[in-house]
Structure 1
Amino acid sequence: VPPHPGPLLAIGVFGADIGKTILYGLIVALPTAIIAGPIFGTFIAKHIPGHANQELVDQLAREPQATTLPSFSITLITVLLPVFLMLLKTFADVALPEGHFFRAWMDMIGHPISALLLALLLSLYTFGYRQGMGSNKILKLLDASLAPTAAIILIIGAGGGFKQMLVTSGVGDVIGHMAVNAQISPILLAWLVAAVIRVATGSATVATITGAGIVVPVVGMIPGVNRELLVLATGAGSLVLSHVNDAGFWLVKQYFNMTVVETFKTWTAMETILSVVALGFILLLSMFV
């Protein structure tokens, strides 16, 4: 769900409401996470021996005591602030008339960029100054955090370019007509397209952006399609079958000190369960919204 860049761009492509997308996403995500997390984790843990990563053990030994960490409540407030502001904007749009001063303020504060900026400023205090960090250390952390964003921007740009190439070539219209003739559920179609791109490219962000661009013509061909659920279905499809062409696959393997086979049994299986179970809940939710 937002503020992840993939769903945010998919929301723009489908013309969905960001607040409803977050709300529906939470309804789908909570039971899905329980099934793919604690339930599957309890089962698979019996079959995968755990091996501590010595590099991480040494790193933890050098870190300050855990008492210096922010409290759970402060961490939760900081992390969920942008989601809360975007939901508040949606509530203001529904509950207040146009032209109301509070609605105008919430349109500005609840915009994804503004919400993320406010969360960043809050984190500088809660995770920085409040923890005893000086200005120089915070600036160093900010400098270090800018480097990884270059890869994210490149991935988003490549995904957007790939999406536009497919849209311009008319692939989306062809798939849309095929879906109408075959009477395929648009939600299932969005999931399938994103899943195929995910398996082929290994990038969930590229799969979400490109899948949205391919499926969006269906919105105009089939009346009554819930755009928010299309966003969620595309996002769910982008998670399926994480394997060796996904950077996250190797990251998890390395940090948890697992073999490739163990990573397939745990990470790949968990991602696929997330994707399939989420699709089931999205289809169920589509019967009520």
Structure 2
Amino acid sequence: MVPVTGTTLLLYALIAVIALVVLIARFKLNPFITLVVVSVLLGFSVGMPMNEIVKSFEAGVGGTLGHIALVVGLGTMLGKMMAESGGAERIARTLIAFFGEKNVHWAMATIAFIVGLPVFFEVGFVLLIPIAFNIAQRTGTSMVKVGIPMVAGLSVVHGLIPPHPAALLAVTAYGADIGRTILYALIVGIPTAAIAGPIFAKLMDRHIKLPADNPLAAQFIEEADDTAPAQALPGFGITVFTILLPVILMLIGSGADLVTTPKTWANDFLKLIGNSVIALLIAALVSFYTFGKARGFNREAILRFTNESVAPTAIITLVVGAGGGFGRILRDSGISNSIVEVATGANVSVLVLGWLVAVMIRIATGSATVAMTTAAGIVAPIAASVPGTRPELLVLATGAGSLILSHVNDAGFWLVKEYFNMTVAQTFKTWTVCETIISVVALLLTLGLATVI
């Protein structure tokens, strides 16, 4: 078969993206299966040698999961230990007392920003939703005002800030410094979460009226009734320290050359513990004591918690791997080179290009993680050929694009709809708009930051 070249490659890529949208959104096919099928068909259609198509896809999957599977597993264990120990509830109680009941929307955004650091969006959502239901009932506040800041905080952290797997993979793909990435992500992420969360939620609370009866809320309020004595929960300080420990270690590793001589034992050791996998491993081990033994759990209970935490991540890991395989097919087929030519001819900023590629994949697959990891693989060769590109900012721009326009092919869309007891239209008006605000504001702040550093 004669290989396809030029703009025809872009046409086939566009058809593949549209196929992903239709098969996942319209026909409700499994995203993992869909990504595999579309990737193989795309490789065949553009004329890749048939004996290279599967090898290319497998290389993409392996290259992605070689790192991300470890991060997903360790991060999920850390989140599970936090949930079982009552650490999330401790954070909630403390911050609500600090902010006051009138400002619970700001408290929920802050809680989500902190709790969301070590866990996936879906995991953070499940951890925090009982707290959100109880806060809404206790303060007489709508779930729009309480819940939207929560999902905004989780989403911003998920898309922009390491140690989240997609952000870490983008850091590796772009050759970015993880410490500076975290610093810039906080500069961009905090105001973005404030605008898309508490500020937007307060505005929408006037226009979106939810039914008074929410069966799911009643169930969670009953299960998470605020009757446990404060002393039964872990301390606020040790809880926050455990959650932030991987971030602290990665920052230490990033700054190793500033405090030690390069290539010495001390320098190598600091960089080792600052590695994302080792940092999460250390935090998980620490959580076995701070959230486990110190809370009265024995070794059998801790083993059960860690085993239970891994199983739900299987499909996430498979989808992420398939996204990496799809990205590898796009690269090996020459589509990435065609995108380079188009971008060069149109004089598109690399930051904007990273955002746009992630936007397209996000709309196609519904997964922010797949969008960010795949887009990073596509854009990384382009960025390497453009002098003056700051890889840390490219991580943020790509992450911002991966969050846009959540719709019916995104699991997060349905989580918000069902738990908040919204209609589909109300979910579009709140959650989808919230995600789009995050994407656009984060891109604008990233472009602004690029002009001053």
Whether 2:228 is the aligned partner of 1:65: answer yes
Find 1:242's aligned residue among 391, 396, 406. 406
Deviations 1:121-156 (A, max 9, x none): 122222222222222222221121010121222022
Question: In 2, Cα distance between the equivalents of 1:94 and 1:164?
Answer: 36
Find 2:246's aligned residue among 82, 106, 109. 82
Residue 107 of structure 1 aligns with which residue?
A: 271
Question: In 2, Cα distance between the equivalents of 1:113 and 1:194?
Answer: 25
Q: Which runs of 5+ in 1 are unaligned?
A: none
Q: TM-score with structure 1 length normalisation?
A: 0.94
**Partner secondary structure for residue 255 of structure 2:** helix
Find 1:3's aligned residue among 149, 163, 170. 163
Residue 193 of structure 2 aligns with which residue?
A: 33
Question: In 2, Cα distance between the equivalents of 1:27 and 1:111?
Answer: 22
Cα shift at 1:211: 0.8
**Partner secondary structure for residue 261 of structure 2:** coil
Kindly provide the amino acid, as one letter, of the partner of residue 205 in structure 1: T
**Partner secondary structure for residue 275 of structure 1:** helix
Kindly provide the amino acid, as one letter, of the partner of residue 317 in structure 2: I
Question: In 2, Cα distance between the equivalents of 1:208 and 1:257?
Answer: 29
Find 1:133's aligned residue among 297, 300, 304. 297
Kindly provide the amino acid, as one letter, of the partner of residue 401 in structure 2: G
After TM superposition, list the pairs within 5 Å mapping 1:252-271 onto structure 2: 252-271=416-435
**Partner secondary structure for residue 213 of structure 1:** helix
Cα shift at 1:65: 1.7
Shift in alpha-carbon separation, 1:126–1:258, aligned structure 2, 3 A: farther
Residue 202 of structure 2 aligns with which residue?
A: 42
Cα shift at 1:107: 1.1
Cα shift at 1:222: 1.7
Find 2:347's aligned residue among 183, 187, 195. 183
Cα shift at 1:118: 1.0
Deviations 1:68-94 (A, max 9, x none): 332332222111111111011111134
Question: In 1, Cα distance between the equivalents of 2:229 and 2:187?
Answer: 33
| More deviation, 10-19/200-209 | 10-19
Find 1:202's aligned residue among 355, 366, 380. 366
Deviations 1:98-119 (A, max 9, x none): 1333321111111000000111
Q: TM-score with structure 2 length normalisation?
A: 0.61
Residue 12 of structure 1 aligns with which residue?
A: 172
Question: In 2, Cα distance between the equivalents of 1:201 and 1:284?
Answer: 29
**Counterpart contact for 1:180–1:222, Cα < 8 Å:** no
Deviations 1:201-224 (A, max 9, x none): 101111111111221222233211
Kindly provide the amino acid, as one letter, of the partner of residue 245 in structure 2: L
Question: In 2, Cα distance between the equivalents of 1:286 and 1:115?
Answer: 29
Residue 155 of structure 1 aligns with which residue?
A: 319
Question: In 2, Cα distance between the equivalents of 1:247 and 1:57?
Answer: 23
Q: Which runs of 5+ in 2 are unaligned?
A: 1-160
| More deviation, 237-246/29-38 | 29-38
Task: Work out which of the two has the higher radius of gyration on C-alpha atoms and give 1 or 2.
Answer: 2
**Counterpart contact for 1:48–1:262, Cα < 8 Å:** yes
Percentage of pairs with the same residue: 52
Find 2:215's aligned residue among 54, 58, 81. 54
| More deviation, 241-250/100-109 | 100-109
Find 1:229's aligned residue among 368, 388, 393. 393
Question: In 2, Cα distance between the equivalents of 1:284 and 1:197?
Answer: 24
